Amino acid sequence: MNEERAVLAGGCFWGMQDLIRRYDGVLSTRVGYTGGTEPKPEYHQVGSGTTGHAESIEVVFDPAKVSYEKLLDVFWHNIDPTQKDRQFPDWGRQYRTAIFYHSKAQMDAAIASKNHWEKDGRFGAPIVTEIVAASKFWPAEDYHQKYYLKSPEDYHRYHDHSGREEYFEKIWRKKEKMSMSDLKNKLTPLQYEVTQKGGTEPPFKNEFWNNHKKGIYVDVVSGEPLFSSEDKFDSGTGWPSFTKPLEPSNIVDKEDRSLGMDRTEVKSEQAHSHLGHVFPDGPAPTGLRYCMNGVALKFRPA
Structure confidence by residue, pLDDT tens digits, 184-209: 788 899 999 999 999 999 999 998 99
Please check whether residues 42 and 158 belong to one and the same domain: yes
Choosing from 54, 99, 221, 291, the catalytic residue is 291
Question: Which residues of the chain are under the pLDDT cut of 50?
Answer: 175-176
pLDDT at 11: 94
CATH code for position 112: 3.30.1060.10
Report how many domains make up the chain. 2
Please check whether residues 73 and 133 belong to one and the same domain: yes
pLDDT at 5: 97
Please check whether residues 100 and 74 belong to one and the same domain: yes
Q: In this structure, which long-range contacts are made by residues 227-234, counting pairs with CB atoms below 8 Å and at least 24 apart in sequence? A: 227/290, 227/292, 227/297, 229/302, 233/282, 233/283, 234/210
What are the CA-CA distances from residue 207 to residues 45, 210, 214, 242, 297 (Å)? 59, 7, 14, 15, 10
DSSP H or E segment with residue 98:
strand 97-101
Please check whether residues 165 and 191 belong to one and the same domain: no
Please check whether residues 140 and 270 belong to one and the same domain: no
- Answer yes or no: 291 catalytic: yes
- Answer yes or no: 236 catalytic: no
Please check whether residues 101 and 227 belong to one and the same domain: no
Whole-prediction pTM: 0.63
Domain that holds residue 61: 4-171
Please check whether residues 149 and 200 belong to one and the same domain: no
| Contacting residues for 250 by C-beta, under 8 A, at least 6 apart | 219, 224, 225, 226, 268, 269, 270
Please check whether residues 256 and 151 belong to one and the same domain: no
pLDDT at 261: 81
Choosing from 6, 9, 12, 140, the catalytic residue is 12
Indicate the residue among 107, 136, 171 that finishes a domain: 171
Max Cα separation, the chain? 62
What is the Cα–Cα distance from 223 to 297, expressed in whole angstroms?
9
pLDDT at 172: 76
Please check whether residues 166 and 17 belong to one and the same domain: yes
Please check whether residues 29 and 131 belong to one and the same domain: yes
- Mean pLDDT, the chain, rounded, equals 91
